[in-house]
Amino acid sequence: MPVKPPSDSTGERRGTSYDVARLAGVSQSAVSRCFREGGSVSPATRKRIMAAAEALGYRPNAIAQGLITRRSNMVAVVISNLTNLHYPEVLAELTTRLSNRGIRVLLFTLQNESEIDAVMDQIWRYQVDGAIVAARLSRDQAEVFARSRIPLVLYNRQMEEAPVSSVMCESGAGEAMLVDGMIAAGARAFGLIAGPGDSTVGEARVRAAVERLAQAGLRDVPVDRGDFSYQSGYDAALRLMKAAPLDAIIAANDVMAIGAMDAVRIECSLAVPDRVSVVGFDGVAPARWASYRLTTVRQPVGRMTEAAVSMLMDRIEDASIGPERRLFSGDLLRGASARLA
Amino acid sequence: MPVKPPSDSTGERRGTSYDVARLAGVSQSAVSRCFREGGSVSPATRKRIMAAAEALGYRPNAIAQGLITRRSNMVAVVISNLTNLHYPEVLAELTTRLSNRGIRVLLFTLQNESEIDAVMDQIWRYQVDGAIVAARLSRDQAEVFARSRIPLVLYNRQMEEAPVSSVMCESGAGEAMLVDGMIAAGARAFGLIAGPGDSTVGEARVRAAVERLAQAGLRDVPVDRGDFSYQSGYDAALRLMKAAPLDAIIAANDVMAIGAMDAVRIECSLAVPDRVSVVGFDGVAPARWASYRLTTVRQPVGRMTEAAVSMLMDRIEDASIGPERRLFSGDLLRGASARLA
DNA sequence: CTGTTAGCGCGTTCAG
DNA sequence: CTGAACGCGCTAACAG
C-alpha cells in the first residue's frame, strides 16, 4: 500500500508519548504508566505529565497499544443484510453496548454469503479481540475462529453440529402462542410464509408453527417461501390465497407479514383480521404503525444483545471458557392483525 | 526471551513474517516484499515464500502494518441514530463501497450528541485514515479533524461557516416539485411538519417548502415539529389538523409523513389523498409499501455514498486537496399520497 | 516511584 | 534480487 510521504510541508506529526515525556522532563515510560490503570506515578509528576499531554493534545496511539498488548479493543460485527429492518436495531444496540465497555466495532456487511471468506481474512488480519456474527457461517468457517482463538458469538444463528456460542430467540413458545390463539379464535385454514431455506431462524419458526398446528390436528398446511422482504411476503400471500382461501397467515418475519397484510387487504380486498389473520415475528418498529398494528412476537433485542456482548467479553477475558448457548423467548405483541382468543 | 514457545495447544501464537521467513529459508524482509505491491522478488523464492505462508496460514498483521505505514486502512463512520430507517441503507452502502476499496469501517453510533466528543477521542486514537460523519458536528469539532489532518466528509450535514467537505441531497428542487404539484392540483391549506431544530437537512427542507409556498402567495403556513419518528409525525399531524383543517401536509422526512398519513386517515378519518395530501422526503423502503405509496423525494443514496467515499479516498491519498461540497438532487417519487398535477 | 531496556510485527533504506 | 539493521509508538519487566 502506498505510504504517505512523511510530513509534507506543514504536516506536523502527531505527538507521541516521547514528546510528552520530553516536555514534562520525564521518561517515556512514566508517560505510559500515567495513561494506564494501575500505573504508579507520584501526584506531582502525574500533574506535569498531564499538563504536557494536554498542551500537545496527546492521546495514546491505540494501534501501537494493540500491537504490544495483543488486544486491539476491536470486535468484528458481521451482519448479512442491514436492510432487513430488524438488524439496524440489533447493530445499534450491539455498538452501544460494546462502546460502553470500551470496545470499538469493526463492521462488516455481507451482500452475498460468499463474501464471508474475505471478511474472515480481514478479521484475522486486524487482530480483533472477538466477533459477533449475524450471518450464515459454515461449520468450517466457525472452525477457523476456533483455530485462530478468536472468541465468537453467533447472533440468531445456530450451529447444530459444532459447539459455538450463540444467542437466539427461541421460536417454539412464540409460535405456539400465535397458533393457539388463532385456533382458539376459530382459524382453521392456515398458510405459512417461510424465509429463505438457508435461514436457520426462519426455518425454526416455520417448523415450530407447523408442529403446533399438527398437534392441533391441522396438517398439510400450505407453505410458500419468501426472502424476508416486503415484496416477497406480498407475493407469497397472493400465491397462497390464490391456491386456497385462508383465514390465517403466519409469516417468518414481520416485514413479510406486513407485505402479506397489504396483499390480503388491498389486492384481495379481504378484511384483516376479520376475514384473515396475519402474524409475524420480530417486533420491528413498523409493526406498530397504525396501519398495521401487527400481531407478532417481539424479540427481546436489549437482553439478547447484552447477552451476546457479555458472553463475548467473558471469553475475551478468559479464553478457556467453553461455548454456551443462550435462548430467549419472545413476548407476544397483541396487535390488531389477528383474531386471538 | 528468544526461545519460541513450542506449539503446545495452549500457547500457540499466530505466525509472523519471521516464521514464514525461517520456514522458507529467506529473510523477513523478503517475506514483507512478497506481500507488497511492487516487491522485487524472484519467482522462485516467491513460490517458496508463498508455500511457507500457506502452510502457516500467515496473513500480514494489519495492526503492525498500520503502525509502520501510518495507514490503518480504517475509516470511521459516525451515524447519529441508526433507527432512523434511512440510515441503515446509507450505512450498508458506505460499508460496501469502502470495503470494495480495501477499507474497513470503524463504526460509531450516537444516542446523544454529547457522545461525539468521546467518539472523536477514539477516532484520533485509532489512527483512522478518514471519517464520514452523518451526525451533527459543531464547528469546533470539525476543526479538530482539520487540525488532526484527518480527512472528513459530512453526509447530509452542512457546515455553513467552515470549509468542510460534504455531500448533501439538495432540498429546493424536490420541495418545489412537491409544492408546485400540490398547488396545481388545488391544495391551498398547507401544514408543515419539521424535524428537530438542530437538524440542518430538516430545516433546509422546511425552509425550501416555506419559500416555495410564499412564492405562490401562501404565507404563514402553520409549522409543527417532530423528531423524525413515526409517532412524532402522527402527533404533529393531529395537532395541525386540530388547529385548522388542512388539505396538504409536508413532512421533513418519510417516516413522519407516514405517521401523518396514519393520523389523518385513521384518527381523523379523512381520505388521503382525496381530502388531504401528504408528502415526505427520503424515499425509504416503507414509503413504497402498498398501504402508503407515499409521494416523496428519493435521495440518490447510491450516488451520494459513492461520492462521499470517493471524496474521502481522494483526500486520504492526497491531503492537500481542499474541501468540496457536492449537492445532489432527489427524484420525485410519484406515490399515491398526494394529488399532484 | 522512576528510568532503562527490550521487544510487539512489520515496511523500508542501504549494502552486497 | 536479497538480507541486515533500524524504527513506527507503545507496554512491561527490571533495576535503581
Using a CB-CB distance cutoff of 8 angstroms, which residues of chain A are in contact with residue B37?
1
| Cα B1 to Cα A76: distance, rounded to the nearest angstrom | 32
pLDDT of residue B7: 34
A50 touches chain B (CB under 8 A): no
Listed as own residue / partner, the contacts of A47-54 with beta carbons closer than 8 Å and 24 or more positions apart are: A48/A24, A49/A20, A49/A21, A49/A24, A51/A24, A52/A20, A52/A21, A52/A23, A52/A24, A53/A20, A53/A24
Contacts of A195 (CB under 8 A, 6+ apart): A201, A202, A203, A205, A206, A225, A226, A227, A228, A252, A253, A256
Residues in chain B: 341
What is residue B242's three-state secondary structure? helix
Which is nearest to A164 in space by CA: A329, A305, A315, A328? A315
Owner of C-alpha cell 449475524:
A134
Residues 179 through 208 of chain A touching chain B, CB cutoff 8 Å: none
Is residue B174 helix, strand or coil?
helix
pLDDT tens column, A203-213: 999 999 999 99
Record: contact B125-A61, CB cut-off 8 A = yes
Instruction: Please state, as a whole number, how many other Cβ atoms lie within 10 Å of the Cβ of residue A149.
Output: 12
Mean pLDDT value across residues A232-243:
97
Residues in Cβ contact with A68 at an 8 Å cutoff, skipping those fewer than 6 apart: none
B217-244 per-residue burial string, b: 16 or more CB within 10 A, e: under 16: ebeebebbbbbbbbbbbbbbbbebbeee
Q: Can you tell me the mean pLDDT for A114-136?
A: 93
Q: Which tens digits make up the pLDDT trace of B123-166?
A: 999 999 999 999 989 999 999 999 899 999 999 998 888 899 99
User: Pairing state of beta strands B331-333 and B296-298?
Assistant: antiparallel
Residue B250 belongs to what H/E stretch?
A: strand B248-251
- Closest nucleotide over all strands to B65 (CA to C1'): C10
B196/B152 Cα distance (integer angstroms): 24
Residue B7 near chain A (CB below 8 Å): no
Using a CB-CB cut-off of 8 Å, the residues of chain B touching A234 are: 290
Distance in Å from C3's C1' to B71's CA comes to: 32
pLDDT of residue A13: 67
Residues 207-236 of B with CB under 8 A from A: 230, 234
Residue whose C-alpha is closest to residue A303's, from A183, A124, A167, A177: A167
H helix or E strand, kind and range, residue A249: strand A248-251
Cell 491531503 locates to: B319
Q: Quick check: B167 and B303 in contact, CB under 8 A? A: no
Distance CA A193, CA B59 (A): 44
Q: CA B291 to CA A164: how far, in whole Å? A: 42
User: What's the pLDDT score for residue B61?
Assistant: 95
Query: Would you state the cell numbers that stand for residue A27, as one nine-digit string?
Result: 521518561
Mean pLDDT of A268-295: 97
**Which among A138, A133, A319, A105 is positioned nearest to B13, based on CA atoms?**
A319
Distance CA A40, CA A49 (A): 13
Q: Residue A61 contacts by C-beta under 8 Å, 6 or more apart in sequence?
A: A14, A16, B67, B125, B127
A175: closest CA of chain B, how far (Å): 25
Residue nearest to nucleotide D7 (CA to C1'): B68
Q: How far apart are the C-alpha atoms of B209 and B201, rounded to whole Å?
A: 12
C6 closest protein residue (CA to C1')? B1
Confidence of residue A83 (pLDDT cuts 50, 70, 90): confident
Contacts of strand D, CB cut-off 7 Å? A 13-14, 16-18, 28-29, 32, 35-36, 58-61, 64-65, 67-69; B 25-30, 33, 40-42, 44-46, 64, 67-68, 70
Residue B197 · residue B203 · CB < 8 Å:
yes
Region class of A283: left (phi > 0), else alpha (psi between -120 and 50), else beta: left
The answer, for B96 touching chain A at a CB cutoff of 8 Å, is yes
In this predicted structure, what is the pLDDT of residue A231? 97
Nucleotide nearest to A27 (CA to C1'): C3
B139 in contact with nucleic chain C (CB within 7 A): no
Alpha-carbon dihedral of residues B216, B181, B290, B267, nearest 10 degrees?
Answer: 30
Q: What is the pLDDT, as a whole number, of residue A12?
A: 60
Alpha helices (H) along chain A:
17-24, 28-34, 43-56, 62-69, 87-100, 116-125, 139-148, 172-184, 200-215, 230-243, 254-262, 301-317
User: What is the gyration radius of the CA atoms in chain A, in angstroms?
Assistant: 26
SS3 (DSSP) at B19:
helix
C-alpha angle with apex B100: B97 to B104, nearest 5 degrees?
80
Q: What's residue B12's pLDDT?
A: 60
A292 interfaces chain B, CB cutoff of 8 Å: yes
DSSP B30: H
Closest residue in B to A61 (Cα) is B125
Contact A273, A337 (CB under 8 A): yes
Is nucleic acid strand C under 7 Å from A29's C-beta? yes
Q: Which residue of B has its CA nearest to A284?
A: B83
pLDDT tens digits for range A127-181: 999 999 999 899 999 999 998 999 999 999 988 888 999 999 999 999 999 999 9
pLDDT tops 80 at residue A2: no
- Element (DSSP H or E) covering residue B48: helix B43-56
Query: Mutating which of A104, A108, A140, A147 best tests the B interface, going by the most B Cβ atoms within 10 A?
Result: A104
Give the helix/strand (H/E) hosting B125.
helix B116-125
Residues of B in contact with A124 (CB under 8 A): 59
Q: Which nucleotides of C are covered by protein (CB under 7 A)?
A: 1-5, 7-13
Residues of chain B scoring pLDDT < 50: 1-11
B4 Cβ within 7 A of any nucleic strand C atom? no
Backbone phi, psi, residue B16, to 5°: -115, 175
Percent of chain A with pLDDT over 70: 96
Q: Which of A224, A213, A207 is nearest to A183 (CA)?
A: A213
Pairwise CA distance, residues B215 & B242, whole Å: 26
Measure the CA–CA gap between B9 and B46, rounded to whole angstroms. Answer: 30
For residue B13, what pLDDT is reported? 67
CB contact under 8 A, A1 and B73: yes
B35-CA/D3-C1' distance, Å? 17
B321 touches chain A (CB under 8 A): no
Give the amino acid at A338. A
Contact list, B95 vs chain A (CB under 8 Å): 82, 107-109
A227's CB contacts (< 8 A; 6+ apart) are A195, A196
A121 touches chain B (CB under 8 A): yes
Average pLDDT over chain A, rounded to an integer: 92
